[in-house]
């Protein structure tokens, strides 16, 4: 029986990939690209933002875009990757579109969060102004914060 690897890619929110029967993995770190096959020596490295690719026993390549991460090879049979973000896909063209959608959704969420932050800040200022009452001038209040 041919030896294989188990590949697990996790983010803080999900297990993005969990694959058995992986025959090879290609990744990139600060020193460049490298490959991992079953029986590889234990390894710990920091991955660059890149597209990880792996081949299963059926010979089909699969891909996952990573926003950097940490890769660990254990006992030559398991690869664990922890990444802030991971977007898996089965072909590069579709993966590129998925990454663009993922980035757009992230930018939209950040924009909404900034809007909510501004709203909360304005509410806090209004609440302070109400608590202090009309008898204290705004200039006096501003002086207290300098």
Question: How far, in Å, are 2, 30, 92, 142 from residue 70 at the CA level?
Answer: 27, 12, 22, 47
In the chain, what is the straight-line distance between the N-terminal and C-terminal CA atoms, in Å?
73
Global pTM reads: 0.69
13 by DSSP, 3-state: which? coil
Tens digits of residue pLDDT in 107-125 = 888 889 898 898 888 888 8
Average pLDDT over residues 17-40: 95
70-84, 116-130, 132-146, range with greatest mean pLDDT? 70-84
């Amino acid at each position: 029986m041919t030896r294989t690897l188990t590949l697990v890619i996790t983010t803080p929110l999900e297990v993005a990939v969990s694959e058995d029967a992986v025959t090879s993995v290609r990744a990139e770190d600060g020193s460049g690209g490298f490959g991992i096959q079953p029986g590889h020596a234990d390894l710990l490295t920091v991955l660059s933002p890149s597209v990880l690719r792996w081949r299963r026993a059926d010979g089909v390549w699969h891909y996952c875009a990573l926003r950097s991460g940490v890769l660990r090879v254990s006992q030559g049979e398991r690869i664990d990757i922890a990444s802030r973000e991971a977007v898996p896909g089965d072909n590069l063209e579709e993966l590129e579109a998925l990454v663009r959608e993922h980035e757009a959704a992230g930018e939209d969420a950040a924009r909404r969060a900034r809007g909510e932050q501004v709203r909360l800040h304005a509410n806090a200022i209004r609440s302070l102004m109400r608590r202090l009452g009309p008898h204290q001038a705004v200039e006096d209040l501003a002086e207290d914060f300098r």
